[in-house]
Amino acid sequence: EDKVVQSPLSLVVHEGDTVTLNCSYEVTNFRSLLWYKQEKKAPTFLFMLTSSGIEKKSGRLSSILDKKELFSILNITATQTGDSAIYLCAVPEYGGANNLFFGTGTRLTVIP
Amino acid sequence: EPEVTQTPSHQVTQMGQEVILRCVPISNHLYFYWYRQILGQKVEFLVSFYNNEISEKSEIFDDQFSVERPDGSNFTLKIRSTKLEDSAMYFCASRMTDTYNSPLHFGNGTRLTVT
């Protein structure tokens, strides 16, 4: 069975800190990995990664994939209280309609 | 930016009642999905829908669930006889294609509370 495991489950940091969130996966026929940010409601798309070693960057957020070691990290530098959210990692399931299989998420809390 | 909209934002119903959750996907998207998130748990796939039929469904999506695209814009999830364990946040999502590199766009969800 495909698996997506995120760590840590929760994290509390102070504003200005840098955080690294981890996602490891075991999936048949890997094709891509996606990161989403979930605040109070809808998960919002952050990044899609398909190739090893190529960093995707958006402002203070960046992410990279290691297809050999089967993991991805999401970095947030100079955290702000607005970064407080659950960060979800997901991979398309093998076969079928590429439906997303989600990890349990990392709950990040940034305190002033 | 176009978005997926869901109504209602919160629905309270009694056990055994039928509920219909409504979604308006992004207008030029062709693939539609329902996901569920029980409080404190992971987001789980329920069903995918394309060309007016279900393309895939999970084990959760049993006979009490059904989906429909009654017109050109709405996409609905019906739960026929709700159970306490159906209480969850239900997310609708859509995307243009079903390829692995086409991200899902989620609505804000409907929180269903079954009492």
Q: Return the pLDDT at B46.
A: 95
- The whole-chain average pLDDT of chain B stands at 93
Q: Return the pLDDT at A3.
A: 83
B103/A contact by beta carbon, under 8 A:
yes
Q: pLDDT class for A76, splitting at 50, 70, 90? A: very high
User: Is the per-residue pLDDT at A16 higher than 90?
Assistant: yes
- Bridge pairing between strands B88-95 and B31-37: antiparallel
Backbone angles phi, psi at A27, to 5 degrees: -135, 150
pLDDT tens readout for residues B61-91: 999 999 999 887 899 999 999 999 999 999 9
**B42, B55, B98 member nearest A104 (Cβ):** B42
- Bridge pairing between strands A19-26 and A85-92: unpaired
A41/B contact by beta carbon, under 8 A:
yes
Q: Return the pLDDT at B10.
A: 96
Residues in chain A: 112
Indicate yes or no: CB of A102 within 8 angstroms of CB of B101: no
Indicate yes or no: CB of B109 within 8 angstroms of CB of A41: yes
pLDDT tens readout for residues B29-59: 999 999 999 998 889 999 999 999 999 899 9
Residue range B12-38: average pLDDT?
95
Extract the tokens encoding A33. 């990995």
